[in-house]
Every structure is written in structure tokens, then in C-alpha cells.
Amino acid sequence: MKALTNRSKIAVDKEYTFMERLYFPAIIKGMMITISHLLKKKATLRYPEVQKEFAPVYRGKHVLKRDEKGAENCTACGLCAVACPAEAITMTAAERKKGEEGKYREEKYAEVYEINMLRCIFCGLCEEACPKEAIFLTDEIVKTSYDRQDFVYGKDRLVEDMNKRIDITKRQKKY
Amino acid sequence: MAKVTIDGHTVEVPDGTTILQAARAIGGEVAPPTMCYHSKLKTSGGYCRTCIVKVSKGSDKDPRPMPKLVASCRTAVMDGMEVQNNTSPEVLDARKGVVEFLLMNHPLDCPICDQAGECHLQDLGYDNGGEKTRFDFERRTFERKDIGDKIQLHMNRCILCYRCVKVADQLCDGRVHGVMNRGDVSEISTYIENAIDNDFSGNMIDVCPVGALTDKTFRFKSRVWFTKPMDAHRDCKKCSGKVTLWDKGDEVLRVTGRKDQWGENEEWICNDCRFEHKKSSDWVIEGPRKIDRHSVISANHYMKLGVPHYKKLEK
């Protein structure tokens, strides 16, 4: 039978040479490789004590931003939901009442805003579509859970905490 | 009959047809955009200047071009007339200027406005407008007003196309005027409120090309592109009863008249149909309404999946 490639070698039952019969050179050669790896930099990190630095534009869990006064930027315009290829975002809008000007920036706001993190593919199109600079992806990671319902993130987990503000200046578009 | 050539396409139309109607007979890109013209309203058109075109040859008998760009909705065709719309850079440039004027006082609140997604001004700005405004001054502002308990007037967004005034004039009895004051401070005003008791006043919402007149029963309920338009009808003593329902799930969020490809009502519907019948069971559903595939309203609508379901209902 003709070989398919010229790389195949025909095995021959030939006798070992003297050097091969000593074994030590081969052992030392192998040990050298092992020892050289001990000295090399480790490819892994000791997670969770040491954590890898994220890229400034990493696309993790979403945040609904507030402005400097603490009012929510989101006006429930629905552009993120229509841009979402995974159809992970749903929202219900409501009208701002008198006296709520400090809570919501515009006349209309999202009463319910939900992202299903199991559907979300973290593509960042919602962030790109947002005309109000309200939704941003952050370097936080969505937590694991045993319950599917836990992955539907409502406003309680998406809206920014004013005491722990999230810096998104690095990912804001520059015009 | 008159033979007229628009953007290189020749069409034969009856005498007295306007250039706009001739262009619409050709269809597609050739038809100039309109804001104030409405085919079902008499004497509409001639206010917004969006539909301006260049007449490069007046007629066979008098081949001189018209000295200025003309409003195509108000200019009748002549035999042998040659018209340029998109092929003339002069027209496109002038139209860009018109859009800039229309947007000068128009607030940038599309994310809040209920008209977004089916707004003619949005389409016009997208197709013909510039990227930025050059207007340095404060925009004029008005208080939000309720016209009756079902219609809301946002005067800020109004572009003074007079379509609603024509509706009040031609469909509703007992009113005289619709616009108060002049120039920069002109305002759709009180007399129109008097027409509210009329059964057909709700058509103002349909004819408004922007979000100035909106349905209060639909206010902030949903964005247009999350609802599914369905053709439906019911026995109505006052009107034809042929409407478009805008559904979300089993809920009817809004009822409007059926609009043709130019965004103009095919028929008028009464307030009873529009505001009082918001249950699927009130209507006989004919099937999904075809909306232009390029419209955002068509986003995420899977027509094929729905077809067998709708056919069953027709029986």
C-alpha cells in the first residue's frame, strides 16, 4: 500500500546503541525540560486572591447609570431592547409624577427594566444604541446561581448605587 | 392627459394632477417626502416646503424652466413637463435647509415621544437632514395641554402643518380657526378644543405627522415597535369600522386608522372605535398589517410563524 504522506516512518526492530543503553542522558534531558518550566512565569493566577485586570472596554454585567444628581438616566425609550439580538431586555415605561424630578431625569422612566442574563450574549449593542447614556456594560461578572429566575436582573440589581458609583468614562464615546 | 417626466421616469396622468401625485403614481424614491400634504384632506399642503422639486422644463409649449423650486403638492403638471427630484443637487440641498428649519424648534425628545418609530419628521431628518443643529438659541416651549380627555397636545413638537386644523374643519362641525398668533409664536389652539366632542376628532392624532397630538390612552404604554399591527374591523354605525390594532400579547394597546404606504389614512374612524374598544374580543381580526420591511416597526416580527394562526381566525 502506498503511504498517503512521505512523513510516515517504518518501524524497525533494531538494537539500542551504547548511549541509548545508558539511559542517563535521556533522563537528564527530560529533567532539564521539567526544571526549566519551574523557573518560567506561571500561566495561571491564584484566583480569587489574585485577579486579572480587565480591559477598559470589557463587557460584563450591565449598569443603569444615574446622573450627578442621582436621577436615573434611562427614559425607557426601548432602543436597547430593539437593538438586542438575543431579546434579553424588557421594560415597562411610566410617567414621572410631580416631585419625582430628582429621581428620574426625564418625563418618562422605566418602571420595570429587566435583563435576562441567561439570554444576554454581552455584545454591547444596548450600550451602543442608548441615546441617553443610561446603560453601560461593566467589568463586573454576573454571579452564578442554581435558580434560573436569579438571572433575570431587575432594576434593584441594575441601577447604579450612588454610594458605589461605577466609572464608565473609559468606555464613553467621544465625539 | 399630460405626459410628465420625473427623475427620468415618464408617466401619463390626467390634467390637473399635481406633480406630487404624478410622482406617487411612479412610486418609490421618486415621490418627494411630504409633511403637511394629506391626500384625504382638501386644501392641505403648501405649508412645509418639504416636497419642493425643480421643474427643468415647463411644458412642451413653453419649455422654459420654472424660475424657482416649486412645492410639488400644489403645482399641477403640464404636458411634456420635466421634473427633477432626487437627481437635482439643488433640490436636495434646499430640502436639507427645509429640514433644518423644521427641526429648529423641534425638541430632541424622540426617546420619550410616543410617535417615535412612525414619525414622518424622524424619517425626513434621517433621510434629508444634517447631523447637527446650527441653532444657538433656546427652543420655543409651551405647556403640555389636554384636548379633551383622550388627546394630548405637545405644542413643542408641532411643526404647524395644519393637518389637524383641516381635520377639525372638514370632519368636525362647529369650529372656526385652529392656529393662534403668528410666526414663531403661532400655536394650535383653543378652537380646536371645541371640536373635541365630535365623533371624528380622534383623527387628529392619525394625521399629525409628528408627536404633537398623541393618544392619551396609549401614552407611554409601549414603544410602537414592540406592538404588533393587525388589521381588524367591527360593525360601527358611525364609521367604516376598518382599523389597525396595535397589540402586545392579547392586549390591544392602541387603535388607529389604516394608513397607506405614504402614511396617510385610508379611511377616517370614529372616536368610539378608537378609544372605547380596547379588547381583542371587540374586533374581527383580519390578519397582520404589512408595514414596510425597513420600518423599525417590522423589527422582530416573524410573519411566517403567525400565518397559520391568523388563517384560523378568519373562518
Amino acid A15: pLDDT: 86
Q: Give the residue-averaged pLDDT of B129-150.
A: 87
Backbone angles phi, psi at B227, to 5 degrees: -100, 160
Residue A94 cell numbers, joined: 411610566
Same domain, B115 and B184: yes
pLDDT band at B310; cut points 50, 70, 90: very low
Q: How many C-beta atoms surround the C-beta of residue A107 within 10 A?
A: 14
Q: Which CATH number belongs to the domain containing residue B34 in this structure? A: 3.10.20.740
Q: What is the number of residues in chain B?
A: 315
Same domain, B273 and B309: yes
**Least Cα separation, residue B160 to chain A (angstroms):** 24
Same domain, B211 and B261: no
Amino acid B188: pLDDT: 78
Same domain, B109 and B72: no
CA distances from A96 to A68, A88, A112, B61 (A): 19, 25, 13, 63
Which of B111, B220, B300 minimises the CB distance to A131? B111
Out of B167, B200, B217, a domain closes at B217
Best probe of the A interface among B223, B224, B226, by most A CBs < 10 A, is B223
- Partners of residue B299 in chain A, C-beta under 8 Å: 82
Out of B167, B196, B217, a domain closes at B217
Cell 394630548 found at:
B152
Residue B118, domain extent: 105-132+139-217
Same domain, B174 and B144: yes
Beta-carbon contacts below 8 Å between A and B: 38
Same domain, B212 and B228: no
Residues A112-163: tens digit of each pLDDT:
999 999 999 999 999 999 999 999 999 899 999 999 999 999 999 999 999 9
Whole-number Å distance between alpha carbons of B89 and B291:
30
Q: Give the residue-averaged pLDDT of B69-83.
A: 94
Residues B7-27: tens digit of each pLDDT:
999 999 999 999 999 999 998
pLDDT band at A175; cut points 50, 70, 90: low
Closest CA relative to residue A123, chosen from A169, A58, A170, A54: A58
**Least Cα separation, residue B184 to chain A (angstroms):** 25
CB contact under 8 A, B221 and A94: no
Contact residues for B107 (Cβ-Cβ < 8 A; gap 6+):
B139, B156, B157
- Assign domain A62-171 to a CATH class: alpha beta
Amino acid B314: pLDDT: 46
Q: Strand, coil or helix: what is B143?
A: coil
CB contact under 8 A, A78 and B220: no
Closest CA relative to residue A81, chosen from B226, B229, B295: B226
Contact residues for B219 (Cβ-Cβ < 8 A; gap 6+):
A95, B114, B152
CB contact under 8 A, A93 and B220: yes
pLDDT band at A7; cut points 50, 70, 90: confident
Q: Give the residue-averaged pLDDT of B166-193.
A: 75
Residues A55-81: tens digit of each pLDDT:
888 999 999 999 999 999 999 999 999
Percent of chain B with pLDDT over 70: 91
Tell me, what's the ipTM?
Answer: 0.80
Out of B76, B97, B118, a domain closes at B97
- In chain B, the number of structural domains is 3
Q: pTM for the whole thing? A: 0.82
Domain spans of chain A, in order of start = 62-171
Same domain, B155 and B234: no
CB B147 within 8 Å of CB B154 = no
Q: Give the residue-averaged pLDDT of B164-171.
A: 85
Which of B111, B223, B300 minimises the CB distance to A87? B300
Which of B112, B226, B296 minimises the CB distance to A106? B112
pLDDT at residue A98 tops 70: yes
Nearest CA in chain A to B144: A107
pLDDT at residue A110 tops 90: yes
Same domain, B213 and B111: yes
